[in-house]
Amino acid sequence: MIYFDNAATTFPKPPAVTEAVVKALKEYANPGRGGHIPSNKAAEAIFNCRIAAAELFGIPSSPEKVVFTNNATHALNIAIKSILNKGGHAVISGYEHNSVIRPLESLRKAGVTYSVARSRPFDTEGALVAFKELINKEKPDCVIVNHVSNVYGNEMPVKEIDEICNSFNIPMIIDASQSAGSTMIDESKLKSAAYICMPGHKGLYGPHGTGILLCCKEDFLYSLIEGGTGSNSRSPFQPDYLPDVFESGTPNVSGIAGLSAGISFLKKNSVLAVKKHQNSLLKAAKEGLSAIKNVNIISSDTHTHGVLSFNLKNADSETVCEYLSDNGICVRGGLHCAPLAHECGGTVEKGTVRLSFSVFNTEKEIAKSVEKINRFAHSFY
C-alpha cells in the first residue's frame, strides 16, 4: 500500500509512538487525581509533552501555554469562541477549513459576522492586499489565518498579516493544521497571535484524538467546558489560568504520551529535514504529473509544502481516487472540508485529487503512483 493522505492524518506512525501509547495504557492512571505512582507517572508524561511542545514552538519557559485538545477543530473552537463569545467581526482567509467556518456560523446568533479575504492560490501578494483592504476598512475584532491550505498547499503571508494586526491591536488566530511539524513556527516572534491551533496526529506524528492549542496571550480565556481539573477542587468555578481553564475532565493520557513520542521523533529528524524531504517529493510528483496529458495541477514555483492537488479533465476526483484505491494507493478526493478554498481556486464543482506526503514516503512511491495515474488517464480518454 502507498499512503498519500497525510494531510488527513500521518500514517504510519513512528514505532516509538505506538510503544508510548501501549506503555501508558499499561502503567499510567489519572493525573492529578491521586498521589500514587500510576497517577504521578501520568502527570509526568503529560508535563514532559507540554515541555517538548513549548520548546518546539518557541516558548520553552512557558509550558503552561500548551493546552491539549482532542484535535485542531477542538482547538479552533476554543480560540474562536474565546475571542468572539460576546459578538464581533472577524476577517478570515479564503482558505479556511470548516472547523473555522462552522463555529463562526454558529456564533451568528451571538452577533458574530465575518468577511473573507479572497485570493487566488499561490498569489501571496494578492492575499496580503485582500487582508489589508478588509482590516483597514472593517477594523475587525479578530483575524483568522489558515497558515497552509489543506487543499492546495499554498501558504498565507502570516508574518506580514501579523504586522498589520499588531499595528491595529487585533488578535490573530492561526490554523497550523498543515504547517505544524513541517514549517518552523516560533510563537515568540508573532506579535498579534492570540492562539495557534494544530492537530497532534498530522505533522507532529502523534495518535488520533490529539491536538494542541498554543495560548499566546492570556487576554481571552473563555472555557467551553467546565469540570474537574485536579486543581482548586473546593471552588465551584472553573480555574481562570492556563492550562487548567481549558483542560477539564480526564485527559487523553495515552494519546498525549504518544504525542510526546511523536514530537521527539520530529525533533530528532528536525523540522527543516522534514520540509526538505517533502519538497523533494512534491517536486517529483509535479514533474511526473505534468507529463501526463489532460492533467491539471494546481501549483506554482512558490509551492513548497507537501500537499498537491490535481484533476483529470472530464473525470471527477472521486472516480480517480477510487481507481487509485483499487490499485493500493491512498489519496483523498472531493472538497476536503474546505469549500472556500475551492471557490478561490475554481475547483468547487468537482473538488480535487489530493496527494499529501510524510517523512515515510519515497520518490519510488511517487513514480509508481504517477504510472498508475498515467495508465488511468490513457484508459479514460
For 279, other C-beta atoms within 10 Å of its C-beta total: 16
Host domain of residue 353: 2-10+270-380
Same domain, 283 and 205: no
* CATH code (residue 62): 3.40.640.10
What residues in the chain have per-residue pLDDT under 70? 381
* Structure confidence at residue 381 (pLDDT): 67
β 112-117/2-3 pair status? unpaired
Same domain, 57 and 194: yes
Do residues 333 and 358 share a domain? Answer: yes
Domain boundary among the residues 212, 235, 269 is at 269
Looking at the structure, tell me whether residues 250 and 286 fall in a common domain: no
CA angle 18, 21, 24 (to 5 degrees): 150
* Integer CA distances (angstroms), 67 to 29, 167, 266, 309, 360, in order: 20, 27, 19, 32, 28
Angle in degrees, CA 160, 162, 165, rounded to 5: 115
At 50 the three-state DSSP class reads helix
Residue that finishes a domain, picked among 239, 269, 299: 269
Q: Measured between alpha carbons, how far is 271 from 273 in angstroms, rounded to an integer?
A: 5
Do residues 155 and 293 both lie within one domain? no
DSSP classification of residue 155: B
Quote the CA–CA distance of 197 and 184 in Å, as a whole number: 14
Same domain, 69 and 40: yes
> What is the CATH number for 288?
3.90.1150.10
Q: What is the pLDDT of residues 259-287, one digit of tens each?
A: 999 999 999 999 999 999 999 999 999 99
Same domain, 144 and 226: yes
- Domain end among 269, 289, 321: 269
Q: What is the pTM of this model?
A: 0.97
Q: Supply the pLDDT for residue 363.
A: 98
Look at the chain and report how many structural domains it folds into: 2
Same domain, 97 and 175: yes
| Nearest CA-CA partner of 279 in 307, 305, 297 | 305
Positive or negative: CA dihedral 372, 331, 275, 157: positive
3-state secondary structure of 65: helix
Do 111 and 258 share a domain, yes or no? yes
Same domain for 252 and 342?
Answer: no
Is the same domain home to 194 and 309? no
Predicted confidence (pLDDT) per residue in 313-371, tens digit:
989 999 999 999 999 999 999 999 999 999 999 999 999 999 999 999 999 999 999 99
Q: What is the DSSP letter of 174?
A: E
Other CB atoms within 10 Å distance of the CB of residue 185: 22
Q: Are 96 and 173 in contact (CB under 8 A)?
A: no
Is 299 found in the same domain as 150?
no
**H or E segment and range at residue 254:** helix 253-269
Give the pLDDT score at 23: 98
